[in-house]
Amino acid sequence: MRAPLSWLMLALLCACSAPAGYSGTVQTESVAVGSQTGGRVIEVDVATGSRVHRGDIVLRLDPALLQTQYDVAVAQTRQAAQHLDELENGSSTTDIERAQAQSAQAQAQYRQAVDVTQPQIAAATDAIRDAQAAVALAKTNYSRAASLASTGDVSQQALDQARADFDQSSARLAQARSDYAALADAQLPGERAAARQNARAQSSASHTLQSGRPAIIAQARAALAAARASADHAAALLREAVVRSPADGVVEAFDLHPGDLLGPNEGAAIIDTFADPYVYIYADQRDLARFPQGQHVRVISDAGTGTYDGVVEALDRTAQFTPQNVETADQRAELVYGVKIRIHDPKHVLLDGTTVTVYQP
């Protein structure tokens, strides 16, 4: 008859049967701030590491040009409102001459708007071309490193760095294309579209002035609506000269000084918000039932900052291979599902990039 297991053996068996933890990397919520118009920096109010509140000023851009555009738009709105009032309450014999002058002025303003946006679009095109060249070079370097790595002539670290360079250059190309799309479809072209709309309205008013008072008044109302839209747009652009923080947080990346130029839609700073961070872990399909949405879990910082409460926020709908930095080498070929866990960290102790281990309670 076998001798009973010793207490040490029983303890080892109990320890082996305890559920293993899941490793993951802390990720914090961050936002990129910038200006949709761009311009020259005239004032800097923060530095890397500064704490900011929502609405705090990050920097100011030179508003001179934008202020002029706004003043012109407001003056045009007053003029259009006065003209409509004259028509509705008895027009003078000079209405046709006034409409012709306004049409010529609107056409000139439209041509000016086109001239302003063309250099910026050209600069955005050059940025895309430069980014494409960088991607091509990074891709070549990565292919060469991969070939050398297969024969052992370069290290895995060199291969990983080549891959990272390729990913970063690809991200810069995507950003350049996004900036170009924003410039081509949004703010400054919006000003150009408003100028074109105003020019058409003024030209139409000039040609239809003799068709009767109802039609003339309708055109004047359209011109006033266009002028107000231009003024609203100019006011929105002027507000973009003051870059503010959209949330409470800490400035993570900032390297601008008075005199620097900030491009349209270019990021000026990265702000780590004070929202609770999150971590992704990867679980086998057999363990998914242990992580229903809303399930509370125990999160232990590998950096020694303590134990935190976590809540399962979402599960991936599609399986994937386990990331290389998670689980053992034998398990990397297994299909797993990502589980997003929000970590309650009211004192903002957890740092982005540190690792944690997740356990069920």
Q: Per-residue pLDDT tens for 247-259?
A: 888 898 888 899 9
Q: Percent of the chain having pLDDT more than 90?
A: 32
For the stretch 110-162, pLDDT in tens is 666 665 566 777 777 888 888 888 888 888 888 888 888 888 788 888 878 87
Report the side by side order of strands in the sheet with 266-273. Answer: 30-35, 266-273, 249-254, 51-52
Q: Give the CA radius of gyration of the chain.
A: 31
**Which of residues 11 and 351 earns the better pLDDT score?**
351
Q: What is the mean pLDDT of residues 24-48?
A: 90
pLDDT for position 9: 41
Residue with tokens 């599902």: 337
- Could you write out the DSSP letters of every residue in 232-261? HHHHHHHHTTEEE-SSSEEEEEE---TT-E
Q: Is residue 207 exposed (0-12), middle (13-18) or buried (19+ Cβ within 10 Å)?
A: middle
pLDDT for position 349: 87
pLDDT exceeds 70 at position 311:
yes
Q: What residues have CB less than 8 Å from 128, skipping those under 6 apart?
A: 173, 176, 177, 180
pLDDT exceeds 70 at position 95:
no
Strand, helix or coil at 159? helix
Q: What is the mean pLDDT of residues 195-199?
A: 66
- C-alpha span between 96 and 164 (Å, rounded): 66
> What does the mean pLDDT of the chain come to?
80
Q: Percent of the chain having pLDDT more than 70?
A: 75
Distance between first and last Cα of the chain: 40
7-28+275-359 belongs to which homologous superfamily? Efflux pump adaptor protein, beta barrel domain (2.40.30.170)
pLDDT band at residue 40 using 50, 70 and 90 as cut-offs: very high
Confirm if 43 and 242 have CB atoms less than 8 A apart.
no
pLDDT for position 307: 94
pLDDT for position 7: 36
Q: What is the mean pLDDT of residues 229-238?
A: 92
CA distances from residue 143 to 98, 201, 277, 312 in whole angstroms, order as listed: 68, 57, 36, 39
Domain ranges of the chain: 7-28+275-359, 30-62+242-273, 64-233
How many Å is the maximal CA-CA distance in the chain? 123
Strand, helix or coil at 165? helix
CA distances from residue 253 to 47, 264, 269 in whole angstroms, order as listed: 8, 18, 5
**Which of residues 161 and 17 earns the better pLDDT score?**
161
Confirm if 358 and 279 have CB atoms less than 8 A apart.
yes
pLDDT for position 253: 82
Confirm if 77 and 224 have CB atoms less than 8 A apart.
yes
**Which of residues 323 and 55 earns the better pLDDT score?**
55
Q: Which residues of 321-340 are buried (b: 16+ CB within 10 A; e: fewer)?
A: ebeeebbeeeeeeeebbbbb
pLDDT exceeds 60 at position 93:
no
Can you give the length of the chain in residues? 361
Pick among 1.10.8.60, 3.30.70.890, 2.30.30.170, 2.40.50.100: CATH of 30-62+242-273:
2.40.50.100
Choose among 317, 318, 304, 309: nearest CA to 341. Answer: 309
Helical segments of the chain, H only? 7-17, 64-88, 95-150, 156-185, 187-207, 213-239
